[in-house]
Amino acid sequence: MDDLKKDHAGADEKLKLEQWEKHSIYRVPAAVRDLHPYAYQPQVVSLGPFHHGDDHLLPMEQHKRRAVTHLLRRTDRPLEEFVAAVEEVATELEDAYQDLGDDWRGERFLQVMVTDGCFLLEMMRTAGGRSEQDKESGGGYAENDPVFGKHGVLYMVPYVRRDMLIVENQLPLLLLEKLVSVEKINDAGPKVDVRYEVNKMVLKFISPSCKTSPPKDRGLHPLDVFRKSLLSTDPDRKPNSCSETCCSVCLGSGGREDEEEDASSIVLSATELYEAGIRFRKSESKTMSLHDVTFRCGVLSLPLIVVDDSTEYMYLNLMAFERLHAGAGNEVTAYVFFMDNIVDLPADVALLTSKEIIKNAVGSDKEVAKLFNGLAKDVALDPKSKLDDVQRSVNRYCRKPCHVWRANLVHTYFRSPWAFLSLAAAVFLLAMTVLQTVYTVLSFYQGGNGGDSPSVAPSPR
């Protein structure tokens, strides 16, 4: 009881709120981690204090120190300048980590920040093909370098890229900005926006095929920048639901009761939606944003998703970040939940693959279905998600019997040319039979009742 009174007396709610607002890098709770134990564990390199010193990550420490040496040699700047620049924002960097122990604050933390930050900058630079140019200034790497050479880039970059997306394995982008600012002091060229350059460098390394422009505002860390790129909107994107005219024809009038029913219902699987008359189409947006889920006049458009070995841990860490960081949003979680609803069986994966919505790099449709079903386990969904409008429209459309009848007709008789020809022949024969019947009946009545033909008098006996 004394401890409770002591804690209550010493609690400063305002101070706690201010401290929580500064956090951006979190430890995954045990309840979440136990569902996917290996998804939140870096494989080859620790970035930041949370996994620093893990036994299986120790071999990379010597390469981190080599990266610092190469960066100093290439930039021709003393180490003290980089340390001083990071020390200016050391408190802000410490506050970014949730529950950072007191043993980490101070010189130990500063050393890890400078070392890991320089390593990450060198890794991104060599992966971008800058190593050959840096050789002239004495800061390049040998071709047989196991990490920064051509061979190392080929086999090491995928693992480093994966570890950069682990929610516990993040470096604040403020750290990279400070290091790049010192690095570019001697640059004679035009002054560049360091914040934008860092965002661009990080996004290009994590997602080389990304066509989205990096955000101009400062991201929290690499995972945050990558998440924003997945949610970037296309200015030419169409609205999420049908137009007013189309809704009145396709969906009918939906009252308050319909909206409440739609909000609580679950989207059918892809094959069930297809049987109910829903057509699937790959989104035409160039950004492949997760926001590009639209439903217009019976057509459900979805962005292309490439499913490979990195898909599971990528979405799990993105959802963990949304769960832990207040104000981050719920868009990635809502998309994963939506995909889990429409992907239930291997047949659903096969259907979406045929429509070029899913690019299966795993191999088995069963494995892809299992992946989506596992991602949404114990997920908390925002009831006011933007995908609710799409879900309401899809559910109302599927409840219209005319759409189901039309879909059955199309799927039965228009699935192949032979089925269509048999239907056309049956309709033709039916039409000919009706015409023949009508002609016979008309001839009978015209001949029996006299019609327009003159009557003939009987001949006398």
What are the tens digits of pLDDT across the range 250-260? Answer: 555 444 445 45
Residue 454 has pLDDT above 70, yes or no: no
Last residue of a domain, one of 177, 208, 230: 230
Whole-number CA gyration radius for the chain:
32
- Per-residue model confidence (pLDDT) at position 116: 96
Check whether residue 354 and residue 296 sit in a common domain.
yes
In a domain, 93, yes or no: yes
Give the torsion sign (CA, 299, 305, 306, 310).
negative
- Mean pLDDT over 345-363 rounds to 91
- Per-residue model confidence (pLDDT) at position 403: 47
Largest CA distance in the chain: 143
Check whether residue 353 and residue 438 sit in a common domain.
no
Residue 109 has pLDDT above 80, yes or no: yes
How many Cα atoms within 13 Å fall on the side-chain side of residue 157? Answer: 23
Query: Average pLDDT of the chain?
Result: 80
Per-residue pLDDT band at 431 (split at 50, 70, 90): confident
- Per-residue model confidence (pLDDT) at position 307: 92
In a domain, 6, yes or no: no
In a domain, 351, yes or no: yes
More reliable by pLDDT, 114 or 132: 114
Per-residue pLDDT band at 134 (split at 50, 70, 90): low
Residue 52 has pLDDT above 60, yes or no: yes
Check whether residue 392 and residue 436 sit in a common domain.
no
Residue 190 has pLDDT above 70, yes or no: no
Query: Using one digit for the tens of pLDDT, what is the confidence trace for 373-413?
Result: 889 887 767 777 778 888 888 888 777 655 454 545 454 54
Residue 293 has pLDDT above 80, yes or no: yes
Check whether residue 56 and residue 133 sit in a common domain.
yes
Residue 49 token pair: 């204090």
Nearest Cα to Cα of residue 178 among 95, 130, 76, 110? 110
In a domain, 339, yes or no: yes
E strands present in 337-439: 358-360
In a domain, 128, yes or no: yes
- Per-residue model confidence (pLDDT) at position 138: 44
Q: pTM of the full predicted structure?
A: 0.81
- Per-residue model confidence (pLDDT) at position 167: 96
In a domain, 420, yes or no: yes
Check whether residue 23 and residue 52 sit in a common domain.
yes
Check whether residue 70 and residue 195 sit in a common domain.
yes
- Mean pLDDT over 427-435 rounds to 78
- Mean pLDDT over 185-214 rounds to 82
Report the percent of the chain where pLDDT is more than 70: 75
What SS3 class is residue 330? Answer: coil
- Per-residue model confidence (pLDDT) at position 30: 92
Last residue of a domain, one of 344, 371, 399: 399
Supply the angle between the helices 61-75 and 107-127 in degrees, to the nearest 10.
70
Check whether residue 187 and residue 302 sit in a common domain.
no
Check whether residue 80 and residue 193 sit in a common domain.
yes
Lowest mean pLDDT among 170-174, 266-270, 322-326: 266-270
More reliable by pLDDT, 395 or 453: 395
Per-residue pLDDT band at 130 (split at 50, 70, 90): low
- Per-residue model confidence (pLDDT) at position 137: 45
Range of the domain at 69: 17-230
**Number of domains within the chain:** 3
Check whether residue 196 and residue 267 sit in a common domain.
no
Per-residue pLDDT band at 128 (split at 50, 70, 90): confident
Residue 265 has pLDDT above 70, yes or no: no
- DSSP-assigned beta bridge partners for residue 279: 299
Spell out the residues 6+ positions from residue 310 whose beta carbon is closer than 8 angstroms to its own. 158, 162
More reliable by pLDDT, 8 or 70: 70
Lowest mean pLDDT among 132-136, 176-180, 308-312, 351-355: 132-136
- Mean pLDDT over 354-382 rounds to 86
In a domain, 450, yes or no: no
Check whether residue 337 and residue 192 sit in a common domain.
no
In a domain, 452, yes or no: no
Alpha-carbon gap, residue 212 to 230, rounded angstroms = 8
Check whether residue 323 and residue 196 sit in a common domain.
no
Spell out the residues 6+ positions from residue 113 whose beta carbon is closer than 8 angstroms to its own. 48, 86, 90, 93, 171, 175
Alpha-carbon gap, residue 394 to 243, rounded angstroms = 14
Check whether residue 68 and residue 167 sit in a common domain.
yes
